[in-house]
Amino acid sequence: MSDNNNTSPRILILGAGSVGCYVGGRLLSAGADVVMVGRERMAATLRDHPLVVTDYEGFRHETRLAPERYQTEPQAAAEADLVLVTVKSQATIDAARQLAPHLKPGTPVISLQNGISNAQRLREHLPEATVLAGMIPFNVLQKAPGHFHHGTEGHLMAEGDPSLAPALPWFEQAGLALEQRDDMHSVLWSKLLLNLNNPINALSGKPLLEELSTRDYRRCLAMAQAETLQLLRRAGIPTVRLTPLPMALIPPLMKAPDWLFTRLSGTMLAIDPIARSSMWEDLEAGRRTEVDWINGEVVRLAEQLGTTAPVNARLTELVHDCEQKRREWPAEALLMALKQAR
Ligand SMILES: NC(=O)C1=CN([C@@H]2O[C@H](COP(=O)(O)OP(=O)(O)OC[C@H]3O[C@@H](n4cnc5c(N)ncnc54)[C@H](OP(=O)(O)O)[C@@H]3O)[C@@H](O)[C@H]2O)C=CC1
Ligand SMILES: CC(C)(CO)C(=O)C(=O)O
C-alpha cells in the first residue's frame, strides 16, 4: 500500500524492452502512473503474459497491463511529466525525433542508457526539453516472456534538476531510488569502464558469469579498461566508484588468477548464471550493437587527445565483423588478437 498521497506524475518510458519494462514494472508496483512505448512484439508478449518484475533480493511484482499502459506509438508523450529513454544508443536519434512533436516544453527527459553521448544527442534533437543524463548500473534479464529480472546490485543515478522533484518519491517507493548527481560525466565514463566487458561477453558467446570466470577473457577486459583509464587520466576526467573497488583497481583484479579473483571480487560476481550482456543480446538477435557508443567512445576520446586506442578499436572491429557474420571467440584467441593490435 502506498503511503505517498500525491498524484503520480505521468512517466513515459520510450523504448520499453528489458530496462524499460523492468523500470516501468517497478514504478507500477508503487502505484505510479506509467505508460510504456515500445514495439508490437513486446506489446503482444504483454497481452499474452503478465508483466513480472523480480530482483536479486527477492522482490516480485506481477501485473496484467491494461492496453493503454503499453503503446506502440509515441503520442502519449504529450501527457508526460517525465520521459525515460531506454532505447539502445543506435536508436537514440530516432527516439528523439519521435518524441519531439509531442513533448510539452520543459519536460524532463532522462537518458537511462549506456554510453557517454546519448543525453547530448537527445538534447540536440529536443531543444525545448530538459534532457538529463542518467545511468542504470544493474543487469536486467528477460527470464521468460514478460518476466524481467534485476540481477546485480547498484542504484539509478541522473543529473540533478528541480523538475525531477515530483517523480523522485515514486522511484524511492518503487525500490528504485534515483540519486541526483552533479558529476554525471564521470559517472557515465565509470559505467562505460564496466561496459567494456560487453563486447568481450558478446564475442565470447558465454553467459557473464562463465565469461568472467575465465582468466583470459578477464585479461582482455583489463587491457581495454587500462587503455581507457590512461586516456581518462590524460583528459582530466575523474572516475567515481560504482563497485566495491575503485575503478583504477579493477584491471589488476581482472588479471588476477582465478582463485584470487574469486576471493576478491565478492559481490561483483554475484551474477545470475544465465545473465548475458545487452550487447550479446543484440548480436544474438542479428541487430546492430552499441559498440560504437561504448568502445567507439574510447577511440574518439583518444583521437581528441591526438593518440590512439588500439585495443578498443580492435574490439569495435571484431564486434562489427560479428554483426556481419556471427562467430564465437575462444578466450585465448581473443587475447592474442588484442595483444597483436597493441
Ligand atoms: N539490459 C541490461 O541489462 C542493461 C542495459 N543497459 C542499457 O540500457 C539501454 C536499453 O537497453 P535494453 O533495455 O537492454 O535494450 P532493449 O533492446 O531490450 O530495449 C529497447 C527497446 O526499445 C525498442 N525501440 C527502439 N527504438 C524505439 C522507438 N523509436 N520507439 C519504440 N520502441 C523503440 C527496441 O525495439 P527494436 O529492437 O525493434 O529496435 C527494444 O525493444 C541500452 O543503452 C543498454 O546498454 C544498461 C544496463 C543494463
Ligand atoms: C549491467 C551490465 C554491465 C551487464 O553487462 C550492462 O550494462 C549491460 O549488459 O549492458
In tens, the pLDDT along 52-77 reads: 999 989 999 999 999 999 999 999 99
Which domain does 313 fall in, by range?
187-341
Task: Kindly report the CATH number assigned to the domain that includes residue 83.
Answer: 3.40.50.720
- Do residues 109 and 34 both lie within one domain? yes
pLDDT at 5: 52
* Per-residue confidence (pLDDT) for residue 174, from 0 to 100: 98
The Å distance, Cα 38 to ligand 1 centre, comes to 9
Chosen domain end from 126, 150, 182: 182
Q: Does a structural domain hold residue 145?
A: yes
Cα 122 from chain centroid (whole Å): 16
What is the rounded CA–CA span in Å between residue 282 and residue 287?
5
Average pLDDT over residues 113-131: 98
Report whether pLDDT(150) > 80. yes
* The pLDDT of residue 210: 95
Q: Which residue's CA is the closest to the ligand 2 atom numbered 3?
A: 195
Q: Is residue 128 part of a domain?
A: yes
Atom of ligand 2 nearest to the CA of 138: 1
pLDDT at 192 over 90: yes
Task: Render pLDDT for 282-314 as a digit per residue (tens, 0 to 9).
Answer: 999 999 999 999 999 999 999 999 999 999 999
Supply angle C-alpha 239, 85, 180, rounded to 5. 45
Distance 106 CA to ligand 2 centre (A): 30
Is 234 in the same domain as 166?
no
Q: According to the model, what pLDDT value does residue 23 have?
A: 98
Average pLDDT over residues 248-265: 93
Is residue 4 a part of any domain in this protein?
no
pLDDT of 3: 41
Atom of ligand 1 nearest to the CA of 21: 13
Question: Could you tell me if 241 and 277 lie in one domain?
Answer: yes
pLDDT tens by residue, 135-147: 999 999 999 999 9
Q: How far apart are CA 37 and CA 14, in angstroms?
A: 5
pLDDT digits (tens, 9 = 90+) for 198-243: 999 999 999 999 999 999 999 999 999 999 999 999 999 999 999 8
Per the listing, cell 503482444 goes with 44
- Strands, E, within 32-173: which ranges? 33-37, 51-55, 60-63, 70-71, 82-85, 108-111, 130-135, 140-144, 147-150, 156-159
* 159 and 205 part of one domain: no
Query: Do 177 and 34 belong to one domain?
Result: yes
Boundary residue ending a domain (182, 207, 240): 182
Of 160, 182, 204, which one is at a domain's C-terminal end? Answer: 182
Classify residue 2: in a domain, yes or no.
Answer: no
Ligand with smallest separation from the Cα of 290: 1
- Say if residue 178 is in the same domain as residue 195: no
Q: Is 140 in the pocket of ligand 1 (CB under 6 A)?
A: yes
195 Cα–ligand 2 center, Å? 6
| Domain at 202, CATH number | 1.10.1040.10
3 in a domain, yes or no?
no
79 C-alpha to center of ligand 2: Å?
31
**149, part of any domain:** yes
What pLDDT does residue 1 have? 34
For residue 19 and ligand 1, the question of a CB distance below 6 A is answered with yes
**What pLDDT score does 244 carry?**
86
Same domain flag for 56 and 69: yes
Residue 195, ligand 2, Cβ within 6 A: yes
Q: pLDDT tens for residues 266-282?
A: 777 788 888 999 999 99
Ligand 2 neighbour 45 (Cβ under 6 A): no
Mean pLDDT, to the nearest integer, of 113-132? 98
Q: How many domains does the chain have?
A: 2
- Contact (Cβ atoms closer than 8 angstroms) between residue 108 and residue 80: no
Please check whether residues 85 and 213 belong to one and the same domain. Answer: no
Q: How many Å lie between the centroid of ligand 2 and the Cα of residue 89? A: 13
Ligand 1: centre distance to CA 266 (Å): 29
- Cα distances (angstroms) measured from residue 301 to each of 262, 268, 306, 340: 32, 27, 9, 22
pLDDT tens profile 72-94:
999 999 999 999 999 999 999 99
CA pair distance 293, 192, nearest whole angstrom: 9
Both 248 and 193 in one domain: the answer is yes
* Residue 277 near ligand 1, beta carbon < 6 Å: no
293 within domain boundaries: yes
Share of the chain above pLDDT 90, in %: 92
Residues 148 and 219 grouped into a single domain: no
> Are 212 and 288 in the same domain?
yes
Predicted confidence at residue 2, as pLDDT, reads 40
Residues 224, 173, single domain; the answer is: no
Looking at the domain assignment, is residue 89 inside a domain?
yes
CA atoms within 13 A on the CB side of 305: 18
Mean pLDDT of the chain: 95
